[in-house]
Amino acid sequence: MIKKGLLLLSIFISLQSIAKKMDEKPDNSPASKIKNDIAFLCSDSCEGRLTGSNGEKEAANYIENRFKALNIAPYKSKYQWDFTYKGGSRLGSNAYFKIFENKLVIGSDIIFLPYGKGNTVMGSAMPNVNEPDNVWLIPISKLKLQTTNSPQKILHDFAEQCAQQAASAVLYLNDLDATQDLTMLNLNSFEQVNIPVVFMNAKAYQLHVKPNLKKDWIEVDGKLGYENSNLIGRNVIAYIDNKAPFSIVVAAHYDHIGNTGSLYKGANNNASGVAALLSVAEMAKAYNLKRFNYYFIALSGHENDMQGGKAFIQQNEFILNNISCMINLDQVGRLENGKPEVYLNGVGTSPAWGPLVQKVNKGFALQIDSSGVGYGEYNAFYYKNIPVLNISTGFTDDYNRVSDDEAKINANGIFDIATFSYSILAELDKQTKLIFNHTKDIMPALKK
């Protein structure tokens, strides 16, 4: 009897639980959608969204499906627009690298940096013992790469100094940890250095160099043998066609660093920008803005010379004169509740921006930079005489590190920034095509 009663009680509780779940409605709040977007883009299936990878394709498919769910049409009958991504490299058949007689794996243990010149890395050397006409072993802890947003630029510039001081080659040693490792699919382009430049990742350093530091020297023997390899990147473009004479571009890059043994999720950089982009697109569709046509673009290729943004411009040269402005959403996920600072770049690229952003601002502490030149896709649009506005919550200490994950994201803050961005579109809907202004070039090293 007792068993029967317990069984009935168990069934009753189960039915109650089922009924409760049936009554519960899915959370379709803006913040919940933002969290879901970021969670997917940061998931293992997206593999860190490295341009040209399967993970990038997974992310592109997700963004395409989100645009479809918002009932925003593709641009010219397709959402995904391929471009040739120059940044990868592949090994020649005769390439090798050895420490003493131990062979290292080129492409994982050892990365040959493509701006280096020459085929041979050979010598007997020790870290920080820098002899002319010998390979120089440089621990990266000496360069403090972890304190900068441009570690590859520092590696390039230091290698240039080594070449000027008669080094025959440079071998960088990652004596820190795997978060500082490089991958052959994520190498930035720089001016050529007249000697071979090589990077040894953390695990190889621990196995092959560190145990030999008490010896008289370390034998290094390697042959370059890499070739450039073009990959396919893809931009995802949705389009609201109002048959208007002018258009507005709203963009955010979705690619990141990938998985080098550690997954670089890139929650703030820049899953947050993509989530904001989708939120702005949803508002623009819902509120039926009509004065302009609207391109909503998730760009790839950012991590290597912002190639996706440049590809969009190259593929659409014929429409550039009809673009009123470009708004870029980059790293918008770290709005601080007590100190809501928002950084705006490009405010000087049109006389309309200054009064407009102040008018729609509802409580942000705006940090305004007038220049249209900076590290973002907006840079390429500015050089085509298009007014630009870059919106960001700023760089963080874990920029381009594995610690940039979704736990640190302020989803409500992203929605606030999306609302601010939409309010800008709504104000622009009352105006004609924006006037373009040239601004002071504060970053002359950036290429057009």
pLDDT tens readout for residues 366-386: 999 999 998 899 999 999 999
Mean pLDDT for 333-350 is 93
pTM above 0.85, yes or no: no
C-beta separation of 362 from 420 below 8 A: yes
SS3 per residue for the chain: CHHHHHHHHHHHHHHHHHHHHHHCCCCCCHHHHHHHHHHHHCCHHHCCCECCCHHHHHHHHHHHHHHHHCCCCEECCECEEEEEEEEEEEECCCCEEEECCEECCECCCEEECCCECCCEEEEEEEECECCCCCEEEEEHHHHCHHHCCCHHHHHHHHHHHHHHCCCCEEEEECCCCHHHCCCCCCCCCCCCECCCEEEECHHHHHHHHHHHCCCCCEEEEEECCEEEEEEEEEEEEEEECCCCCCEEEEEEECCECEECCCEECCHHHHHHHHHHHHHHHHHHHHHCCCCCEEEEEEECCCCCCCHHHHHHHHHCHHHHHHEEEEEEECCCCCCCCCCCEEEEECHHHCCCHHHHHHHHCCCCEEEEECCCCCCCCHHHHHCCCCCEEEEECCCCCCCCCCCCCHHHCCHHHHHHHHHHHHHHHHHHCCCCCCCCCCCCCCCCCCCC
C-beta separation of 308 from 233 below 8 A: yes
Percent of the chain with pLDDT over 90: 71
What pLDDT is attached to residue 445?
40
Closest CA to 357 of 389, 393, 331, 385: 389
How far is it, in rounded angstroms, from Cα 183 to Cα 56? 16
What pLDDT is attached to residue 12?
52
Tokens of 399: 């920029």
What pLDDT is attached to residue 87?
67
Lowest mean pLDDT among 99-103, 347-351, 371-375: 371-375
Percent of the chain with pLDDT over 70: 89
Q: Is the pLDDT of residue 444 over 50?
A: no
Mean pLDDT for 250-271 is 91
C-beta separation of 264 from 336 below 8 A: no
How far is it, in rounded angstroms, from Cα 33 to Cα 12? 34
Closest CA to 302 of 212, 377, 217, 389: 377
Tokens of 149: 């947003």
Q: Is the pLDDT of residue 142 over 80?
A: yes
pLDDT tens by residue, 103-116: 998 878 998 888 88
Mean pLDDT for 160-164 is 95
pLDDT band for position 88 (50/70/90)? low
List Cβ neighbours of 403 (8 Å cut-off, separation of 6 or more): 179
What pLDDT is attached to residue 116?
87
Q: Is the pLDDT of residue 224 over 80?
A: no
Q: Is the pLDDT of residue 92 over 80?
A: no
Half-sphere exposure of 39 toward its Cβ, with a 13 Å CA cutoff? 7
CA–CA distances in Å: residue 66 to residues 43, 291, 308, 391, 421: 16, 24, 20, 22, 19
DSSP H helices, 321-373, are 353-360
Q: Is the pLDDT of residue 118 over 50?
A: yes
Q: Is the pLDDT of residue 1 over 70?
A: no
How far is it, in rounded angstroms, from Cα 237 to Cα 82? 11
What pLDDT is attached to residue 6?
47
Tokens of 431: 């105006």
Q: Is the pLDDT of residue 425 over 70?
A: yes
What pLDDT is attached to residue 149?
76
